[in-house]
Structure 1
Amino acid sequence: MAGEGNFKEELRSQDASRNLNQHETAGHPHSRSLEMLLHRLRAVHTKQDDKFANLLDAVGEFGTFQQRLVALTFIPSIMSAFFMFADHFVFTAQKPYCNTSWILAVGPHLSEAQQLNLTIPQAPNGSFLTCLMYLPVPWNLDSIIQFGLNDTDTCQDGWIYPAAKKRSLINEFDLVCGMETKKDTAQIMFMAGLLIGSLIFGLITDKMGRYPAILLSLLGLILFGFGTAFVNSFHLYLLFRFGISQSVVGYAISSISLATEWLVGEHRTHAIILEHCLFAVGSMLLTGIAYSLPHWRLLFLVGGVLAIPLISYVWILPESPRWLMMKGKVKEAKQVLCYAASVNKKTIPSNLLDELQLPRKKVTRASVLDFCKNRQLCKVTLVMSCVWFTISYTYFTLSLRMRELGMSVHFRHMVPSIMEVPARLCCIFILQQIGRKWSLAVTLLQAIIWCLLLLFLPEELKSVTIWVLTLGEFSLAATVTVFFLYTAELLPTVLRATGLGLVSLASAAGAILSLTIISQTPSLLPIFLCCVLAIVAFSLSSLLPETRDQPLSDSLDHSSQMSFQKDVALDLSSDGSFRNKVKDMTTEDTSSDDMSEEAAKNVILNAQILRLDPYPVSNPALKQFNKEEANSQAP
């Protein structure tokens, strides 16, 4: 009712200034009332969504509870990066030779060099061939030395790796001599896990809650990460990597959803940026540990041991109160909020807690089909999917391009990881200054510039190319940070995790496409596609609304309201068509069984405003409405 009173005060002030602005208003008889209608719609909706923000303010915007929540949810990001990029360090290149130990039966005292010289064919340049051997003969050693061996064949008894300094998957499972493609199979299997896990964990997080989804993904990290150290076949290794990838993407979706719904304003921005900085720290930690360990199994053992303490999250991690409210669990939501307030040494006013009531619209029925039915939600999902596809494709293309230049695996990971930290921290400034929408556009524009430079750089300038590739990854790191924050704020609570899962499908698809194109096409074509995709994503990002300083949407109604307000703004100059549109919407909305009493009153009020003459307050219908409102508020 206070909102209705404020609106009538605005109408009375308009009446007082009508004579001063008569000339201006005469040219646009309905513009001022329509602008007030837009302001009215935004104010009512913001006030409705800010009820939960007011509760979080009472709990404490960023007290001890929120600080602990950020630490609990984002520290595991270190382990996510550790397991996600471990593949790059367990396929250390090894030079193989056929196992010709059969000659030791006739010459047990032969040195390794003598054994290779007698049993391995040589290339014209004098180097030993890696995949051929001389067939065994029933001769004594002197005969073999005198006459030599002539018949060659492929390796019969496996391979040896004389120059190997580390034990890797290459010499563990003999991924050589035609088996090298299995390395790409491992990457594709990991991407397939990301693709499937995005959909599965998106649905789990929205259906079962953020808390169980986080626990399930952490359990997967521990079991599959630790268990990888004990696999006895390459196929089993692929299976465990498939499980790890699902856990990694599941944790990313569920943790960002939980943090987004517990934090407000700039604290949400800082927390998500911190998570991504810790992800880069995890990549640096992995590089350092992998460099010092002599065996690939030890790498997964160390990672599994570091992940075991995450089991304690079963007892200390909270659930999202927003999600609880949307599922009708009011009592549980109040308990979680009161606990958070007690940790922050705050007291929530009873009137704020009393405002937590079951939503009249049955939001628990929201499903993945709503991404097709809801126009605004569909647009957001498609645009963000295109952006995430572009980011993923471009990032992997630049990374694989760096590998083609002959850079060591440790350089390819350590240097970009170090640069990612300041790249993500820079997002704090640009997000505060220009908002989410333009921050995404700026970071995408930077990626376009670096990709265009790569197209025109000559191959002889190897050092310059490496720097441009590094700066391209720098820009993409900032883009990823902005993307996750922006997407989480655009999606409603009831389908936030599912939406993040759907756009993550596009990420996996972009990575798989990059791996496929790089292996089958010239080097310039993948970079050219990066430019084209980045330009398309840059253009589509302009279609998205800004979310800075806006309340989080909890239900699907928010998307419809945003779409309606946009249509109103576009039609301010057309009186008749706009009036018909709102009239049709009034008829449609008032017939809805799920519409609240306050919403119905607003629709009626909006319809009456649109029928006003050039001087709104003189309209008898509105006077009668004001009179009835005054009588209803009288004691």
Structure 2
Amino acid sequence: MSGVGEILKAVGDFGPFQKRLVLLSVIPCLSVAFHQFCQLFMVPHVPHHCDTSWIRAVGPNLTEEEQLNLTLPRDAEGSFEQCSMYSPVDWDLDSIVTYGLNTTEKCSSGWVYPSAEPPSLLTEFDLVCDRKELHDIAQSVYMLGLFLGSMIFGPLSDRIGRRPIILISVFLQGLFGVGIALVPHFYVYMAFRCVVGASVSGITMTILALATEWIGVSSRPKAVLTSHCCFAIGQMILAGLSYGIRNWRLLQIAGSAPIFAFFFSIQSSNAVLEPKWQPLTMPTGDGLGMDRGGLQLQLPCTRDQLKPETQTKSGSTLDLFRKKHLRNVTLIMSCAWFVNSLVYYGLSLNVTNFGLDIYLTQLAFGAVEIPARVGCIFLLQWFGRKKTQVVLLVLSGLVCLIITGIPEDQPVVTTVLATIGKFTASASFSTSYVYAAELFPTVIRQTGVGLCSMSARVAGIVAPLIRLLSEYHRAIPMAIFGSTPVVGGLLCILLPETSGTDLADETRDGCSPAEMTFFSQKLHGGGVPALTVYSSKTVFW
């Protein structure tokens, strides 16, 4: 058992400090949900057609309908083509009306949109026709930011601490989130979104580490999954916010600016992430059938006053692959996070294509995550981490495979199945966070979780691009989203169970030095002096 584990058992698994810590994660989780999915509502479907104002030079008195009839071809259903036009000619108006135009070309002078439509990414940056792929590419660039954030902030958090990283991440998210609303070009928009994505990774990983390390075994799943429930609530708020604010720039500001309140509240209180310990007497047994009575646990007032007697060597990425048991955990959990992210974002980013109202679908997707996250708490307690992870991953994949066989004219059935898939994928993702944090030792926990998060972000980058395969057959993307989590779930059978176990401090197998010292003294009949904690990771007797 680690020293922190002993302290938490003595002072309480979920006391006032831990409750404040969980409450603190609410605002960042709401903000993270906004940035994850806000772009879906900034690129609404808008009727459009090529700009053919060239004909006004020879026919200034033409009505709009006459102009379109003369300059735009029609598709098989009789509607005007959205991405092609008749090639401009140097004829007079009478010749154009008499002979008509036959040669077509792509839109060469831009597009025309309904004047009543509020500004959106689609209308401002012409994300239509040959440029419509930029929508999915921009989403992949944001996911690339998540990947870079995992690669940077994970190891950095293990070296300089959790608090500096969460402050840096929150500041970057607020600064570049508001900055997105002011960008003049779409490529600048994508660059800023990439930075916001990196900050999101820094926030989510740090919140996970804090909830894992400062909260006891029995309350750890509840703390982690409470923040996930806040993420689900954030998705529901996004549905309402985007429904009420149709101007994409105002929507971006409304979703980004509130994070500054969190940043300044942390800055103004140095004790927010610092526990206040008080001296107490801890009645303990020795675990060997001997009664020691009460031990006086002398704890400093703040974490800064803890004096390490020995320095614990910090871990590195290589440590994850040096030992066989850590190597297996790293590879399998990375695979699990990859496939989980693939199916989660495959469903979430496809919200516009299920056939029902996008705002209602997003509301349902957010609402279903709350029982998924809450139910996951009980599943983890009843069935353990491994069984829960395996079953939920397999179920989420099977639902996606079933969707591939549903006809396009059944949007309600498709949406219901997608919602069920979102339920299982969300619960599985929550399980992955708890499971991974418990599998990796403290000295490389953020590095290990960061590596898993990196694999998840690779899946996030790939997921929007997989959606482009629907041009060849509509079932291809969902078949990929469905088959991969089934394989990943089966691989998780090889992982160890961590339910009810204390966190490991170091990468070595077996007992920690503190436990070895204690048991050695007891076995040899040595006296046990007062227990004093010198660091947040090691207990010396």
Query: Which TM bucket (shorter chain)?
Result: 0.7 to 0.9
Instruction: Say which of 288, 292, 313 aligns to 1:363.
Output: 313
Q: Deviations over 1:6-31 (max 9, x none)?
A: xxxxxxxxxxxxxxxxxxxxxxxxxx
Answer yes or no: is the 8 Å Cα contact 2:40–2:349 preserved in 1.
no
- 1:537 counterpart (473, 480, 488): 488
Contact 1:61 1:264 in 2 (8 A): yes
2:322 aligned partner, one-letter code? K
Counterpart CA distance in 1 for 2:101 and 2:482 is 56
What's the CA shift string for 1:85-139, capped at 9, x where partnerless? 1111111122322223344455555443333234333446542222333455566
Q: Is 2:61 the partner of 1:115?
A: no
Q: Distance in 1 between matches of 2:473 and 2:78?
A: 32
Once the two structures are TM-superposed, the CA of residue 270 in structure 1 deviates from its matched residue by 1.4
Matches within 5 A, 1:188-587: 188-312=140-264, 313-316=266-269, 336-337=274-275, 340-341=276-277, 347-348=279-280, 351-353=297-299, 358=308, 360=310, 362-364=312-314, 366-399=315-348, 403-451=352-400, 453-454=402-403, 462-520=411-469, 522-530=473-481, 532-557=483-508, 560-561=509-510
Once the two structures are TM-superposed, the CA of residue 460 in structure 1 deviates from its matched residue by: 6.4
Q: Is the 8 A contact 1:74 1:275 kept in 2?
A: yes
Instruction: Kindly provide the amino acid, as one letter, of the partner of residue 256 in structure 1.
Output: L
Separation of aligned partners in 1, 2:318 and 2:260: 38
C-alpha contact 2:34 2:255 (8 A) present in aligned 1 = yes
Report the residue type matching 1:415 in the other structure: A
After TM superposition, the score normalised by the length of structure 1 is 0.72
Aligned length: 508
Structure 1's 141 and 317: CA in aligned 2 closer, same or farther, altered over 3 A?
farther
Instruction: Note closer, same or farther for the CA distance 1:291–1:244 as it changes in structure 2 (3 Å cut).
Output: same
TM-score w.r.t. length of structure 2: 0.84
Aligned to 1:324: none
The answer to whether the Cα contact below 8 Å between 1:95 and 1:164 also exists between their aligned partners in 2 is no
Tell me how far apart the structure 2 counterparts of residues 289 and 149 of structure 1 sit (CA, whole Å).
46
Deviation digits for residues 175-222 of structure 1 (CA, Å, limit 9, x no counterpart):
223111211211221221122211111111111110011011111210
Contact 1:220 1:244 in 2 (8 A): yes
Tell me, yes or no, if the aligned pair for 2:384 and 2:499 is still in contact at 8 Å. yes
What do residues 42-87 of structure 1 show as CA deviations (whole Å, max 9, x unaligned)?
Answer: xxxx3xx2x3234235555433332222111232100011011111
Shift in Å at residue 167 of structure 1? 1.9
Name which of structure 1's ranges 204-213 and 392-401 shifts more when overlaid on structure 2: 392-401
Post-superposition CA distance 1:333-369 (Å, at most 9, x none): xxx44xx24xxxx5456633289652646323x2111
Alignment partners' CA distance in 2, 1:283 and 1:172: 25
**CA radius of gyration, larger in:** 1
**2 CA distance for matches of 1:359 and 1:555?**
16
Contact 1:226–1:301 (8 Å) recurs in 2: yes
Q: State the AA in 2 paired with 1:441.
A: V
More helix by share: 1
- Give the Cα separation in 1 of the matches to 2:99 and 2:483: 63
Q: Distance in 2 between matches of 1:288 and 1:466?
A: 19
Q: Secondary structure at the match of 2:456?
A: helix
Secondary structure of the structure 1 residue equivalent to 2:80: coil
Q: Deviations over 1:544-603 (max 9, x none)?
A: 23223222222223xx228xxxxxxxxxxxxxxxxxxxxxxxxxxxxxxxx959748979
Q: Structure 2: how far apart are the matches of 1:510 and 1:304?
A: 25
Residue aligned with 2:226, SS: helix
Cα distance in 1, alignment partners of residues 374 and 441 from structure 2: 27
CA deviation after TM superposition for structure 1 residue 461, in Å: 5.2
Q: Distance in 2 between matches of 1:167 and 1:597?
A: 63
Q: Is the 8 A contact 2:239 2:359 kept in 1?
A: yes
Displacement of 1:468? 2.0
Give the match's secondary structure for 2:25: helix
SS at match of 1:133: strand
CA-to-aligned-CA distance 1:415-441 (integer Å, 9 cap, x gap)? 111111111111122222222222223
Could you tell me which amino acid in structure 2 is paired with residue 302 of structure 1? Answer: A
Aligned equivalents of 2:152 and 2:78: distance in 1? 55
The structural deviation recorded for 1:502 is 0.3
**1:360–1:596 Cα contact (<8 Å) kept:** no
> How far apart, in 2, do the equivalents of 1:379 and 1:554 lie?
18
Contiguous gaps of at least 5 residues in structure 2: 282-295, 529-541
Residue 292 of structure 1 and its aligned partner are, at CA, apart by 1.8
Partners of 2:397 and 2:73 in 1: CA distance: 50
CA contact (8 A) 2:396 2:424 kept: yes
Which of residues 130, 134, 140 in structure 2 aligns to 1:182? Answer: 134
- Give the secondary structure class of the aligned counterpart of 1:266: coil
Moved more, 504-513 or 186-195: 504-513
| Whole-angstrom distance in 2 between the partners of 1:379 and 1:160 | 56
What residue is the counterpart of 1:584 in the other structure? none
Deviations 1:519-544 (A, max 9, x none): 33644455554554334333332332
Distance 1:597 1:193, change over 3 A: closer
Following superposition of structure 1 onto structure 2, how do residues 85-104 of structure 1 map, counting pairs within 5 Å? 85-104=37-56
Measured in 2, the distance between the counterparts of 1:536 and 1:317 equals 46
| Distance change in 2, residues 1:89/1:528 (3 Å) | closer
Counterpart contact for 2:137–2:465, Cα < 8 Å: no
Name the Cα RMSD after superposition: 3.2
TM-superposed deviation, 1:144: 5.5
AA of the residue aligned to 2:255: G
Percent sequence identity over aligned pairs: 37
CA contact under 8 A between 1:58 and 1:347: conserved in structure 2?
A: no
AA partner of residue 482 (structure 1)? T
| Residue aligned with 1:265, SS | coil
Superposition map of 1:22-33 within 5 A: none
Segment of structure 1 superposing worse, 435-444 or 56-65: 56-65
Contact 1:384/1:503 (<8 A) preserved: yes
Which is further off, 469-478 or 526-535? 526-535
Q: Is the CA contact 1:447–1:475 (under 8 Å) kept in the aligned structure 2?
A: yes
